[in-house]
Structure 1
Amino acid sequence: MRTIKTLTFSILLIVALIACNSKNKDKESIKSTQKVTSQNGLSAVIDSINSEINNGDYGLIDRFMVIQNDELLADYKYKQDYETSVQKYDTTNHQYNFNNTDWHPYYKQTELHTLQSVTKSITSILFGIALDLNKDYNVSNKAMPLLTGYDTDFLDKQKQNISIEDLLTMRSGIQWNEETDHNDHTNDCFLLESSDNWIEYVLSKPMDTIPGTKFVYNGGGTVLLGKILRTITSKRIDDWAEEKLFEPLGITDYYWKETPDGEIDTEGGLYLKAEDLAKIGSLFLNKGKWNGKQIVSESWVSTSTSPLLKNVKPQWRDVTGYGYQWWIPEYTDDGRVGIYAANGYGGQYLMMAPEYNLIIVFNGWNINSEPEKSTYRVLRDRIIPALKINNGV
């Protein structure tokens, strides 16, 4: 039986979707619902953020949602003139050209928004479901024997020792450069997306560290996870997602890019509506349950969103941890998680604060310039302090 909270959330999402299909002028926003009763401080902060977005302080933002206790507190949609904003950039008609407005940020003028690396976090969920249902496999399994159909005779002993968990935590040891701009033609993500066979591209890369010892952000490892999932389930990940995640959550409209070799882009190719992305957040805040049904195990949710690795980006202003393809921007020394998040290029954020049962969704497309303010820090620096004041902390 559907719970009252989930039903309320579903109704509010329908209201939001209807409101967001209304006509709006450039740079105008639509607030479909906002709860203001006992949260006047929070309401003022949300309104301030919305005003700053309209003012351009956060760059090109497409959507801003705040959900607490399965109630939609605020939902703003912003209309941006991307056709004009990318005119000076290369707009070659190709799905991996980020300035091609047929593909970015929306898929062919629909409400489906590119998620970029938020896709990795959803891939992790789907992998967790696969391991929940296939007890012959676990995260300790070596990855290479599960990559069937490829010539792996050339692999060295270190590569043979890569585990599934090493791939989930970005510690494969494979030599990889994804820290430069995506327009850099030496960037491994650019080279991966330009190749005809993504799996072979990743497997052809040499090793540079012992597996399990060093965090190196590597979308190629997530591509391997997608293929391994297919080995475990005998289903391509888009079919697995349809059956095991999207259908149970009522996600009926999505798009997932296919790679030239007939696989699915598990590192950055998923498009969802913001309302459906919020459902993923609700699933995790409810420890893997939806409408009373366990979709992914509570243990997978907990492990995925724990700081298994700490301070993985010392060059960032924030001390950030990493779990199973999820970022943890705020945690204590004893491992208590304040915020966990799925992050994507251009400003795609699904952020959860479990202590406050709070979800924040941002969609944007800041790829050609750096905005004055970062939506990544809105939850930690603006929303949570307002909640603490409301709670008398």
Structure 2
Amino acid sequence: MCNYKYICKLHPIKTKIMRMLKNKIKLTFSILLIVTVIGCNTKDKNKESTKNTQKAPSQNVLSAVIDSINSEINNGDYGLIDRFMVIQNNELLADYKYDQDYKTIVQKYDTTNHQYNFNNTDWHPYYKKSELHTLQSVTKSITSILLGIALDLNEDYNVSNKAMPLLNGYDADFQDKRKQNISIEDLLTMRSGLQWNEETDHNDHTNDCFLLEASDNWIEYVLSKPMDTMPGTKFVYNGGGTVLLGKIIRTITGKRIDKWAEEKLFEPLGITDYYWKETPDGEIDTEGGLYLKAEDLVKIGSLFLNKGKWDGKQIVSENWVATSTSPLLKNVKPHWKSVTGYGYQWWVPEYTDNGKTNIYSANGYGGQYLMITPEHNLIIVFNGWNINAEPEKSTYRVLQDRIIPALKHK
């Protein structure tokens, strides 16, 4: 079973009126905060440009669109949303918190006595009523960053390395030669070839993610899965592969991923408040177990917008950032409304015919989104918890359908 430490920082918003007042106060305060948070990456010319209080017509249109989205969230059109942030050119354009009474809302669904019950409000979506929010599969994108740092610092390893020699000591069947040929890159791009079902509802007891999280040894569960296809040939969304990546990071660095993250990513970015979920076998849940504050998720976005640099220091290589966010695989979700690519644990919701990335994102179950468009130097963060009902509108489409058209308005 997972053991959780208590972090007792209570959510202060109590009423709708209080929320409205706090949003305005918070927006003013957060502009100052963002200067501290990502100002180290802001050039003097950007600072000068923000002194001009006269907004361009396109900025006025964007402000109106943001206000409209905020109103629709308050109206419930986007379901259960608790945070909405927009940052452009290192300037905070919007930061809204929404008070959701999750305990009352989801308690009727809380019927499963399971350590990873997603309707257990003791730890979802906020960790122990703190400001730490579940990231779910956004965790995968951060795991990819941490692997990139490990490979940057260890010349003996690269994405072409076979995965199985880095996963010794487990009671699993390695007789199938196809399994022995799985590379690190195959795991990164969800093309391991392992038989895996994660496309059904998470509470479906045949869902491999449900079964993984119910098991006592996550890595052995993944390694025990039979092969379905040749490695590197077919995209199948597989959180188990990301669990293996977490263990591979430990093999390469000699450190469990939470310690590696603290040393090589969180501490350099000034992220001091976070939580990783520990698995029953003493490893870390690298497929969905990280909790961060929304402000700190913005730092991850800023790091990538600056091509892996933070405060003048290269945290992860520019090449890793570019490759991770490129559509290495194209149209991986044909049934989605937009043509979507996939990189190294990052989604690419929009790209050109020649493979140039227009938008890339880290996506998490329930409505966790870190969305970035380099052309407009813009970051959007959404946190929410839409797991029991599909809302009328999707926050995943906000950037493409609402924000970018406003930015292009003339």
TM-score by length of 2: 0.88
Is 1:224 the counterpart of 2:244? The answer is yes
1 CA distance for matches of 2:188 and 2:213?
Answer: 20
Is 1:373 the counterpart of 2:393? The answer is yes
Q: Secondary structure at the match of 2:287?
A: coil
Is 1:25 the counterpart of 2:15? The answer is yes
Is 1:251 the counterpart of 2:251? The answer is no
Q: In the alignment, what sits opposite 1:88?
A: 108
Alpha carbons 1:93, 1:100 under 8 Å: kept: no
2 CA distance for matches of 1:40 and 1:21?
Answer: 32
Is 1:74 the counterpart of 2:64? The answer is no
The CA deviation string for residues 7-27 of structure 1, in whole angstroms up to 9 with x for no partner, is: xxxxxxxxxxxxx97545248
Q: Among 145, 149, 171, which residue is 2:169 paired with? A: 149
2 CA distance for matches of 1:284 and 1:93?
Answer: 39
Question: Alpha-carbon deviation of 1:95?
Answer: 4.3
Q: Which amino acid aligns with 1:78?
A: Y
Q: Which amino acid aligns with 2:232?
A: G
The CA deviation string for residues 166-185 of structure 1, in whole angstroms up to 9 with x for no partner, is: 00000000000000000100
2 CA distance for matches of 1:286 and 1:294?
Answer: 9
Q: Which amino acid aligns with 1:58?
A: Y
Q: Which amino acid aligns with 1:352?
A: I
2 CA distance for matches of 1:345 and 1:26?
Answer: 26
Q: Secondary structure at the match of 1:108?
A: helix
Alpha carbons 2:174, 2:180 under 8 Å: kept: no
Q: In the alignment, what sits opposite 1:359?
A: 379
Question: Alpha-carbon deviation of 1:150?
Answer: 1.4
Alpha carbons 1:26, 1:80 under 8 Å: kept: no
Q: In the alignment, what sits opposite 1:342?
A: 362
Q: Among 177, 185, 199, which residue is 2:197 paired with? A: 177
The CA deviation string for residues 233-290 of structure 1, in whole angstroms up to 9 with x for no partner, is: 0000000000000000000000000000000000000000000000000000000000
1 CA distance for matches of 2:134 and 2:228?
Answer: 32
Question: Alpha-carbon deviation of 1:105?
Answer: 0.5
Alpha carbons 2:173, 2:223 under 8 Å: kept: no
Alpha carbons 2:72, 2:78 under 8 Å: kept: yes
Question: Alpha-carbon deviation of 1:154?
Answer: 3.8
Question: Alpha-carbon deviation of 1:87?
Answer: 2.1
Q: Among 204, 209, 212, which residue is 2:232 paired with? A: 212
1 CA distance for matches of 2:406 and 2:235?
Answer: 34
Q: In the alignment, what sits opposite 1:139?
A: 159
Question: Alpha-carbon deviation of 1:153?
Answer: 5.2
Q: In the alignment, what sits opposite 1:106?
A: 126
Q: In the alignment, what sits opposite 2:216?
A: 196
Kindly report structure 1 stretches of 4+ aligned residues shifted beyond 4 Å: 91-95
1 CA distance for matches of 2:351 and 2:345?
Answer: 16
Is 1:278 the counterpart of 2:298? The answer is yes
Q: In the alignment, what sits opposite 1:299?
A: 319
The CA deviation string for residues 13-48 of structure 1, in whole angstroms up to 9 with x for no partner, is: xxxxxxx97545248451433798331110000000
Is 1:382 the counterpart of 2:372? The answer is no
1 CA distance for matches of 2:236 and 2:175?
Answer: 20
2 CA distance for matches of 1:312 and 1:23?
Answer: 40
Cα RMSD of the aligned pairs, angstroms, is 1.5
For structure 2, the residue ranges without an aligned partner over 5 or more in a row are: 1-9, 32-52
Question: Alpha-carbon deviation of 1:358?
Answer: 0.1
Q: Secondary structure at the match of 1:325?
A: coil
Instruction: Work out the number of aligned pairs and report it.
Output: 371
Between 269-278 and 143-152, report the one with greater CA deviation.
143-152
For structure 1, the residue ranges without an aligned partner over 5 or more in a row are: 1-19
Alpha carbons 2:173, 2:224 under 8 Å: kept: no
Q: How much identity, in percent, do the aligned residues show?
A: 85
1 CA distance for matches of 2:192 and 2:359?
Answer: 25
Question: Alpha-carbon deviation of 1:91?
Answer: 5.0
